[in-house]
Structure 1
Amino acid sequence: MSAADMEAPLCLPRRQLTRLPRAALPQGTVDTHFHVFRAGAPLNTPRSYTPDIATIADWIKFSGNLGIARGVLVQPSVYGLDNRLLLEALAAYPDRLRGIVVIDPETAKAEIDRLDRLGVRGVRINTRNKGGLPLAAARTLAESIAAFGWSLQLQINPEQLPDIATTLAGTRLPIVIDHLGFIPLAIETRSRHVDALRRLMDAADTYVKVTAPYRLTKDMNDQGFAEVARALAASHAERLLWGSDWPHTELWDGMPDDAELIETMQAAVDDPTVADKIFVRNAEALFFGR
């Protein structure tokens, strides 16, 4: 084991479902953000974490128990440019899954066409983890994938949000922001960050994933996440996406309960019409139109 590997701590194992959410998810719910890991799959070096094993079979069971109809599998940083595990999952469940890959910015059009036929619908930029693509690669990638109708998925820091519209101006493809852009939930700065997300959704074809509150606060009783979700749903319900973030990587001192996470989102968005957009319709249109 290299020194770099030793610096990548092992994630906590996910919690098993012990109950279902008090209210069922809307029929047709799409989980737009989850990862899978398999024992023996080569890990990238350097990397930010070492995953606990959670396979596609595990997610199929998890999603089936919760009534999740379909999912969008996102390439994790620990596999770098090696998308084989993701592509195997898409091949096994072609009607149920779509994928977001990480590829070299100079990838040939023929390879992008092959990935598209396998169910890939986007490329991920990740400025927060070792092994992720930098934001500088976004414009080159956007030019390569725009003709395929893919999205550009961004896992970025909140201070990068104000510049995204300018950085990616004219790219002619949807942009998806992971985990509310990791904005801090402190009440004194919350409105400024919510306004930044709204401006981005107004200025470009941008969607925001209302996911993973534990990445924004250590206090799971913090109402900030629900308040942000409610505020964005009031103005941009057609631009929000829900995802489980299963199996909750990069956690070492506390693992969330999936039923509680879903209930938090349901409490924030209690209008059935709005909930249907966020849990079902927006993702259907963005990822499963073909």
Structure 2
Amino acid sequence: MSQSEAPLCLPPKPLGALPRLPDGACDSHFHVFEAGAPLASPRSYTPQILTIADWQLYAEAAGIARGVLVQPSVYGLDNSVMLRAIASDPQRLRGIAVVAPDISAEALRELDAAGVRGIRINTRNKAGVALDAVGELLGKVAALGWSVQFQVRAEQLADVAALEHGETPLVLDHLGFIRFGEADTGTRLDALRHLLDRPNIYTKISAPYRLTASADYTDVGAAITALAASHPHRLLWGSDWPHTELWDKMPEDGDLLSAYETWLPDAQVRRQIFVDTPTSLFFGR
């Protein structure tokens, strides 16, 4: 598949001085890649090869203690790059895998032993697992205490709301991909708030650059501040490093981290979002 069909992402900007996150902070959403690993075809993008060693440099600069790798769509159902990354630092890392609906219980147990703590449903990218697979997968992952993570379009929040998930944690990537500054933004935010009212539903307050045309993400930041006031126990932070699917503008990591300091001024709330909630969800064992 040519890069014109699946364009090459921009690389992240060189690391400068970064604000330090709360002690014990967890990056709940990042991706890594590996030279020579087969890429899915078709796919939505071609990644820069940024490895777990590259993320570790970012983590060291920001004071990140732990991380949760999320299987990127470009590897389809082949979780091996992610699993090798976890194996390089198994005390510090966990993973969110992409699996087929008919995966066996034995295969899931093997992933669990390797540090996987959830599965990903992705309706926004080619090579992702569709929403209609959830019904078959929920019972399988519930037995392991895993979460189900959703990269869905904002109009699919109602579909997530309709799921019968018992006590299985459901996690929405990137504020449910609500587009800020559009006519339906308020309605979508209300739908997200209603979801967060339920036990065991969470959202990542990550990737503001994907959600708005505002250069400084002011509208996204205002929503994050409001959600932190109403639902602090339902929020997770993730870097979305290395910021895939960007082709014309790349954010500065320092600017992003500084923005969260502004949006989340309360130290106790910041600790809940950056440390306590991800520790509970992903590092209980």
Q: Indicate if the aligned counterparts of 1:34 and 1:74 stay in contact, CA closer than 8 A.
A: yes
Give CA-to-partner distance per residue, 1:57-100, whole Å, 9 cap, x none. 10111101110000000000000000001011111111000000
Equivalent-residue separation in structure 2 for 1:275 and 1:18 (angstroms): 23
Flag the structure with higher helix content: 1
Closer/same/farther in 2, CA of residues 76 and 170 from structure 1, 3 Å limit? closer
Task: State the TM-score, normalizing by the size of structure 2.
Answer: 0.97
- Which residue of structure 2 aligns with residue 12 of structure 1? 10
Residue 88 of structure 1: SS of its match in structure 2?
helix
After TM superposition, list the pairs within 5 Å mapping 1:128-167 onto structure 2. Answer: 128-166=124-162
1:250 matched to 2:273: no
After TM superposition, list the pairs within 5 Å mapping 1:54-203 onto structure 2. Answer: 54-166=50-162, 168-186=163-181, 188-203=183-198
Give the number of aligned pairs.
Answer: 285
Equivalent-residue separation in structure 1 for 2:227 and 2:93 (angstroms): 27
Structure 2: give runs of 5+ residues left out of the alignment: none
Residue 89 of structure 1: SS of its match in structure 2?
helix
Aligned with residue 219 of structure 1, among 214, 223, 236: 214
Q: Indicate if the aligned counterparts of 1:194 and 1:232 stay in contact, CA closer than 8 A.
A: no
Give CA-to-partner distance per residue, 1:132-164, whole Å, 9 cap, x none. 000000111111110100000000000011231
Residue 18 of structure 1: SS of its match in structure 2?
coil
Q: Indicate if the aligned counterparts of 2:209 and 2:217 stay in contact, CA closer than 8 A.
A: no
Q: Indicate if the aligned counterparts of 1:139 and 1:171 stay in contact, CA closer than 8 A.
A: no
Give CA-to-partner distance per residue, 1:233-277, whole Å, 9 cap, x none. 111000100000000000000000111111111111100010100
Residue 67 of structure 2: SS of its match in structure 1?
strand
Equivalent-residue separation in structure 1 for 2:135 and 2:6 (angstroms): 30
Equivalent-residue separation in structure 2 for 1:265 and 1:194 (angstroms): 19
Residue 195 of structure 1: SS of its match in structure 2?
helix
Percent of aligned positions that are identical: 53
CA RMSD of the aligned region, Å? 1.2
Q: Indicate if the aligned counterparts of 1:187 and 1:224 stay in contact, CA closer than 8 A.
A: no
Give the deviation of 1:185 after TM superposition.
Answer: 1.1
Residue 217 of structure 2: SS of its match in structure 1?
coil
Q: Indicate if the aligned counterparts of 2:236 and 2:273 stay in contact, CA closer than 8 A.
A: yes
Residue 207 of structure 1: SS of its match in structure 2?
strand
Aligned with residue 263 of structure 1, among 243, 258, 261: 258
Equivalent-residue separation in structure 1 for 2:53 and 2:177 (angstroms): 29
